[in-house]
Amino acid sequence: MRLVILGGPGAGKGTQARKLCRQLAISEISTSDILRRAIASQSELGRQAQVYVEKGELVPDPLLIEFMRNRLLQDDAKGKGWLLEGYPRTAFQAEELDFLLDDLEQRLDWAIYLEVPESVMMKRCLERSRSAIEEHSHTLQGDPKGNILVKDSRPDDQPEIVQRRLNLFYERTIPILEYYGYGKRLLTINGSQSPEQVQQEILHKLQI
């Protein structure tokens, strides 16, 4: 089975991707992981991507599709199937992915959209940021009681930054949903449920 998973920040894409890949015995393919490994290995594509990543710019679509091509040609992806997380992010990328899959003689089965209200995504993002800060907090030097200090939030933890990320997500995602919906390949899932309930709804709609 070949799947993509879509959802805004805090929708639970990573959690569901891991659960689904274990359940279906398919490979999880994360764009961010691919880029990190390529840059770390200093491959030709990795060096090209590094230029953009270091500037904080988006990696161009033609480069991303080459990363996808290389990954989807690996044995595990050709054999067992896969789930893409973090790609596509735009309708153009979704269309380019279909062209690539045609070329590779593969076909996307379903796009899974985790639908979560904006207020819930905002709450989850802020809670996740708070947890990350607490995990990376440090002990005050010389404090005999070992009290834990919590660092100030980073700028991208702030509600206004999260709101901008959400706005960008909606701007990009509605055309993707229309694209996959038109092709009757879209499964919309209630992402406000518990992770276990979300997984069960996905499996039910996949008829597994």
116-to-78, 96, 110, 166 alpha-carbon distances in Å: 32, 26, 19, 11
29-to-6, 77, 81, 97, 131 alpha-carbon distances in Å: 13, 9, 10, 14, 26
Q: What average pLDDT does range 143-162 have in this prediction? A: 52
pLDDT, position 131: 60
Cα angle 152, 157, 162; round to 5: 160
- pLDDT tens, position by position, 21-77: 999 999 999 988 999 999 999 999 999 999 988 887 878 899 999 999 999 999 999
**pLDDT of 146 higher than 50:** no
Q: In the chain, what are the helix, strand and coil shares in percent, each to the nearest 5?
A: 60, 15, 30
Answer yes or no: pTM beyond 0.85: no
Catalytic residues: 13, 89, 128, 154, 165
- pLDDT tens, position by position, 159-171: 787 788 788 888 8
Q: What average pLDDT does range 145-154 have in this prediction? A: 41
CA–CA distance, 64 with 70 (Å, rounded to integer): 10
Question: Which of these ranges, 40-49, 111-120, 132-141, 147-156, has the smallest mean pLDDT?
Answer: 147-156
- Cα 78 off chain centre by: 21
CATH code for the domain in which residue 109 is found: 3.40.50.300
Task: Give the residue numbers spanning the domain of 155.
Answer: 2-205
Classify 149 as helix, strand or coil. strand
Q: How many domains does the chain have?
A: 1
- pLDDT tens, position by position, 73-117: 999 998 889 999 989 988 999 999 999 999 999 999 999 999 998
